[in-house]
Amino acid sequence: MVELTWLGHASWSLQIGEHRIVIDPFLSENPSAKQSPGEIDADFVLLTHGHFDHVADAAEIANRSNALLVANYEIATWFAEKHDVKNTLGMNLGGWAELPFGRVKMTLAHHSSQLPDGSYGGNPGGFLIECERRLYFAGDTALFSDMQFIAPEKIDCAVLPIGDLFTMGPSDSVQAAKWLAPKCVVPAHYNTWPPIEQDAQVWADSIRQAGFEALVPEVGEAVSI
C-alpha cells in the first residue's frame, strides 16, 4: 500500500514502506498549503520541472532532511550549484532511475520549465513510479496522445492537473484518463488561486462517467492507493 497526501497545488507526499517522497514542494508561498516546509521531512524530493510553484521549497526540505533530489539534469545541477543541495540525481526524459523504494521514469510533459532565477530548466516532465503500486504524476502538461503509451501495464493511480489556463483543464483530463486507463484518478494543480479554480466534484463525476474511480483528497488528507 502507498499513502498519498495532497500538500496543496501540485505538491504531494508519498509514504512507500519506510520511504518518504515529496513531489514538487510548494508550501511557504502557496495559499492553499496547510504545512510549512519545516514540517515536511523527506528521503527523496522529486521535481517535475523548474517553475517556482513546483520547486520553491525543494532546497529547504532536501537540505534539512538530507534527501536525494531527483530532477532533470539541468534542475538537479542548478540545485547543487545554487542551493548547495548535496545529494542530487539528474535524469532526463525516457530514463528510469532505480531508487530504494522502487523505480522512477521521467515521462514527457508538454509545458515549459524555466527556473526561478531565469536559468534554463531543461524539459518539463512527469514521473511514473513503480513500487508495490504503479503511480503516474503527469506534472504540468497539456493533453497529448502519447499518454496512451506512458505505461504498458496497469496504472493504479494517475495524478492529473485539472486547473486549466497553465495546464490541461477538466475535460482534457478526462480524455487523458481514457488514454491512461488507470484504476483511479486524482486531481492536481487547481484551487490554489482564482485563475485555476475548478469544481473537483463535477470533475470527479465526469471521471466516474468515463469508467474510472476518482479520488479527491482535501489538502492534508492521505489516501491509500
Positions touching Ni ion (CB under 5 A) are 51, 140
Nearest approach, Cβ of 166 to Mn ion (angstroms)?
6
Residues touching Mn ion: how many (CB under 5 A)? Answer: 2
List the interface residues with Mn ion, window 108-167 (CB under 5 A). Answer: 140
Residue 150 DSSP symbol: S
Three-state DSSP at 189 gives coil
Candidates 51-59, 88-96, 142-150, 175-183; binding stretch for Mn ion (CB under 5 A): 51-59
72, 48 Cβ separation under 8 angstroms: no
CA distance 212 to 205: 10
Q: 43 vs 53, which CB is nearer to Mn ion? A: 53
Task: Please give the sequence-ordered ranges of beta strands (E in DSSP) within 9-149, or none if there are none.
Answer: 11-16, 19-23, 44-46, 68-72, 88-91, 96-99, 102-108, 125-130, 134-137
Q: 54 vs 105, which CB is nearer to Mn ion? A: 54
Q: 20 vs 48, which CB is nearer to Ni ion? A: 48
Three-state DSSP at 7 gives strand
Nearest approach, Cβ of 161 to Mn ion (angstroms)?
8
Separation of CA 9 from chain center: 10
Nearest approach, Cβ of 24 to Mn ion (angstroms)?
8
With binding defined as CB under 5 A, does residue 53 bind Mn ion?
yes
Q: Residues in the site for Mn ion, rule: CB under 5 A?
A: 53, 140
